[in-house]
Chains A and B, each alone.
Chain A
Amino acid sequence: MRIGYVSRSILDMPFIIARDRGYFREEGLEPELIFMKAAQTIPAMLAGGIDFGTATGTAIVAALSGIDVRVVFAMSDKPSFDLLAAPSITNLQQMRGKSSASRRSAPWPKFSPAQIFSPTRFRRIKLLFFLWARAT
């Protein structure tokens, strides 16, 4: 069994710990964990290169596009992201006219502050997109 994992964050850490501490082996599993970009997990699964991927956001977007993938389980149903602001900003109203940044490549548009604030009246937030570079 091959699992494509996409980060070394807390969300994928359980797979790494389970491999390193033998929890998979105790269940009769010997998965090979392969580090890859989230966007690569879908074509890799469809081509049979991997059996599972950990990029649930990417898979949901793909499934909504009609691609034959599904989420087997989710690690969390709450976002692990928070909006962090400069100490001078004590409420959302003060975000008006301020600059924020987001990953352009994020598969989940809801990770974008612009998306979070779009239903609200805080639409004047400047949003900068930073190119995401992953250290491999």
Chain B
Amino acid sequence: MYVALKAGTIDATMLQIPQNFLAVDEGFVSSPPAPTVYRAVQGGLTTTEGNHQRTTRAGD
């Protein structure tokens, strides 16, 4: 989508690190900063409830 933005096919899009920084360096504008508009949990670790209970007990 960064390519589409650069080509002018679209006027705006959501970009992630590092493309958001690269886009700003190339003159595109970021407005407003996403964290001021919405919150979202990203990245980390997920597992099943069963595995979580097993690993938690093993760690005790």
Do B45 and A72 have beta carbons less than 8 Å apart? Answer: yes
For B17, list chain A residues within 8 Å (CB): 9-10, 80
Query: Does A135 count as interface, using CB distance less than 8 angstroms?
Result: no
Task: Report Cα–Cα, A46/B4, bound state, in Å.
Answer: 37
Summarize B's interface: helix, strand, loop or mixed.
mixed
Chain A interface helix/strand/loop/mixed: mixed
Interface size class of A (residues with CB under 8 A): 35 or more
CA distance A83 to B40 in the complex (A): 14
| Binary CB contact string for chain A from 73 to 116 against chain B (1 if under 8 A, 0 otherwise) | 11111111111111101111001001111110000101111001
Cα of A68 to Cα of B4 in the assembled complex, Å: 38
- B59–chain A nearest beta-carbon distance, Å: 11
Chain A residue at minimum C-beta to C-beta distance from B55: A51
